Amino acid sequence: MTKHSDVVIVGGGVMGCATAYYLARRGITSSVFEQNTFGWGASGATAGVVGPLWHVPHDNEPYFELALKSLRMFPTLASDLTDAGLDPQYRQSGVLKVAFTEELAGTLRDDLAWQSDLDMAVEWLDAQEVSDREPDISPSVLGGVYSPQEGYVVGQSLVDSLVHAGTQLGVRFFDKTEVFGIETKASRVVGVRTAAGSFEAGHVVLASGPWTGIATRWIPEDVPIRPIKGQRILLRLPGLLPRSPVHGFSGYCVPQPDGRILVAATRHEYEFDQVVTAGAIADMIKAAVDLYPKLKDAQFDSARVGVRPGTPDDLPIIGPVPGWDGLSIIAGHDAVGIMMAPATADSLAESIASGDGVPLEPFSLGRFSP
């Protein structure tokens, strides 16, 4: 039996679930299909840092403006999702980036020059001020930059809360339901084929992370998205918990609401497996102990893998697919998917609702055409 939905979304990570949520806020019903469980991939394995000042290039104006919009949206989104019944565990704790060498301290001061123009109260902390803020941090730290308007979110909690709130708004979520392909009539996409049967749709959104780039699975054209495997670990040491995410250039220590410390992350290009490796764990433990020497005595809690989607120019692919009516992509954010999700998904939802893809042209798949 063929079923119908205004929009079908392929992929149940943060981008797919957030797009469904923002469509529902506009009165547009959607069905979200996930081949595993919601958030099981990169969204659930993320470090969760919401820090565009450190991770989104400020010299790309459209991308950076989208990132700042996303940062501004997080408090309201978190409040709305909490009111709907599930806390996404977002904390506007600030983000601290520290330097162990004069060269890296110079890099931070150079960045501070343009960051100070953003009116976001970003400030330099000398070694004593860093120690006052983080008493257990390494005495080798020379100083750092603190950005108080940034923070972190628990990736799996954010996805879970989006599913919960979206369901209340009429979104249909199907986990463990693989989409095998899309249905077309000439150059128009009219639905998808799934393990639960065919679904007709007025619009289809590909939000399947690195799977979006599997050659010819969706459309004949190449979608240049590659897999980037990332690993992270969780440690626990009673009495030690950073006040905010702390980045030491080689890795992050991110406090968790339950008292654990998330340490992230590794990067393995073109790897598409879910294998946790000893070398990656060793690298992350070293990064953590370099920041907080006491963590050498921490309890190892767990490790997790996520495969992120990357593009050749390090910009995401967002918006209508040229040459195909009724088809959009939202993928390719690499390591910044969580922090970019609110503004990216909201912008795509607006594009679908209005039929206007012009605001998303800087991120169009068409930029890779000859």
- Integer Cα distance of 356 and 34 in angstroms: 27
Whether 55 and 79 share a structural domain: yes
Of 292, 308, 324, the position where a domain reaches its end is 308
- Residue 104's region, left for phi above 0, alpha for psi from -120 to 50, else beta, is alpha
- Sequence-distant (6+) residues with CB within 8 A of 141 are 98, 99, 100, 127, 130, 131, 248
Whether 121 and 233 share a structural domain: yes
Amino acid at 20: A
Whether 284 and 254 share a structural domain: yes
- Integer Cα distance of 230 and 42 in angstroms: 8
pLDDT recorded at residue 215: 59
CATH number for the domain that contains residue 97: 3.30.9.10
pLDDT digits (tens, 9 = 90+) for 156-215: 999 999 999 999 999 999 999 999 999 999 999 999 999 889 999 999 999 999 999 875
- Summary mean pLDDT of the chain: 96
Whether 340 and 217 share a structural domain: yes
Whether 119 and 244 share a structural domain: yes
pLDDT recorded at residue 282: 97
Q: Which domain holds residue 102?
A: 91-150+227-308
pLDDT recorded at residue 218: 82
- Integer Cα distance of 174 and 127 in angstroms: 51
Whether 101 and 47 share a structural domain: no
Rounded to 5 degrees, φ, ψ at 358 are -60, -45
| Alpha-carbon Rg for the chain in angstroms | 21
Name beta bridge partners: 145: 97, 124
Helix/strand/coil for 5: strand
pLDDT recorded at residue 29: 94
Given a contact cutoff of 8 angstroms between Cβ atoms, the answer to whether 166 and 39 are in contact is no
pLDDT recorded at residue 2: 57
Place of tokens 């030491």: 248
- Integer Cα distance of 58 and 63 in angstroms: 8
Whether 165 and 300 share a structural domain: no
pLDDT recorded at residue 291: 98
Q: Per-residue pLDDT for the chain (370 aa), expressed as one digit of tens each?
A: 459 999 999 999 999 999 999 999 999 999 999 999 999 999 999 999 999 999 999 999 999 999 999 999 999 999 999 999 999 999 999 999 999 999 999 999 999 999 999 999 999 999 999 999 999 999 999 999 999 999 999 999 999 999 999 999 999 999 999 999 999 999 999 999 998 899 999 999 999 999 998 756 788 888 999 999 999 999 999 999 999 999 999 999 999 999 999 999 899 999 999 999 999 999 999 999 999 999 999 999 999 999 999 999 999 999 999 999 999 999 999 999 999 999 999 999 999 999 999 999 999 999 998 7
Place of tokens 């992270």: 232
pLDDT recorded at residue 370: 73
Name beta bridge partners: 299: 236
Closest by CA to 119, choosing from 184, 165, 68, 153, is 68
Whether 63 and 12 share a structural domain: yes
- Integer Cα distance of 334 and 316 in angstroms: 8
State CA 79 to chain mean position distance: 19
Whether 164 and 231 share a structural domain: no
- Residue 191: which H helix or E strand, with range? strand 188-194
- Integer Cα distance of 136 and 183 in angstroms: 57
- Integer Cα distance of 182 and 135 in angstroms: 55
pLDDT digits (tens, 9 = 90+) for 88-106: 999 999 999 999 999 999 9
Amino acid at 16: G
Whether 300 and 170 share a structural domain: no
- Residue 174: which H helix or E strand, with range? strand 172-174
Of 281, 308, 335, the position where a domain reaches its end is 308
Helix/strand/coil for 87: coil
pLDDT recorded at residue 216: 67
**Helices in the chain by DSSP H: which ranges?**
14-25, 42-45, 52-55, 61-84, 102-115, 127-133, 155-168, 278-291, 337-354
The interaxial angle of helices 337-354 and 61-84, nearest 10 deg, is 90
pLDDT recorded at residue 40: 96
Whether 14 and 54 share a structural domain: yes
How many separate domains does the chain show? 2
Whether 221 and 234 share a structural domain: no
CATH number for the domain that contains residue 50: 3.50.50.60
Of 283, 308, 333, the position where a domain reaches its end is 308
Q: Is the peptide bond before 215 cis (omega within 30 degrees of 0)?
A: no
Given a contact cutoff of 8 angstroms between Cβ atoms, the answer to whether 305 and 230 are in contact is yes
- Integer Cα distance of 225 and 342 in angstroms: 21
Given a contact cutoff of 8 angstroms between Cβ atoms, the answer to whether 30 and 8 are in contact is yes
- Report in angstroms the alpha-carbon separations of 1 from 177, 251, 319: 16, 50, 30
